[in-house]
Copies of this chain bind each other. A is one copy, B any other.
Amino acid sequence: MVAREPSETRILSVASEHLRLHGLRRFTVVAVAEEAGMTHANVYRYFPSRVALVDAVVDVWLKATERRLADIADGPDPAEDKLERLILALAKANRDLLHEDPHLFAALSQAVAKRHAISRRNRARVRALFERVIDDGIATGAFEPRDRDRAIAFVIDATHRFIHPAALELEADVPQESVDARLSTLIRVALRTLATGVI
Contacts and interface: CB of A to CB of B under 8 A. Distances in A.
A188 B158 CA distance: 12
A157 B170 contact: no
A160 B153 contact: no
A154 B198 contact: no
Contacts of A182: 150, 153-154, 157
- Integer count of this chain's copies in the complex: 2
Nearest to A193: B189
A164 interface: yes
Interface string A164-195: 10110010000000000110011011001100
Contact of A189 (B160, B167, B199): B199
Contact of A161 (B113, B150, B157, B189): B157
Residue among A113, A160, A199 with the highest chain B CB neighbour number at 10 A: A160
Contact of A185 (B150, B167, B181, B188): B150
17 contacts: A113-B170, A150-B185, A153-B182, A154-B185, A154-B186, A157-B158, A157-B161, A157-B182, A158-B158, A158-B189, A160-B160, A160-B167, A188-B199, A189-B193, A189-B199, A192-B193, A192-B198
> What 10 A-B pairs are tightest by C-beta distance, nearest first?
A160-B161, A158-B158, A166-B166, A192-B198, A189-B193, A153-B182, A157-B161, A154-B185, A157-B182, A150-B185
A199 B190 CA distance: 11
A182 B156 CA distance: 10
Contacts of A113: 170
Contacts of A192: 193, 198
Contact of A154 (B157, B170, B189): B189
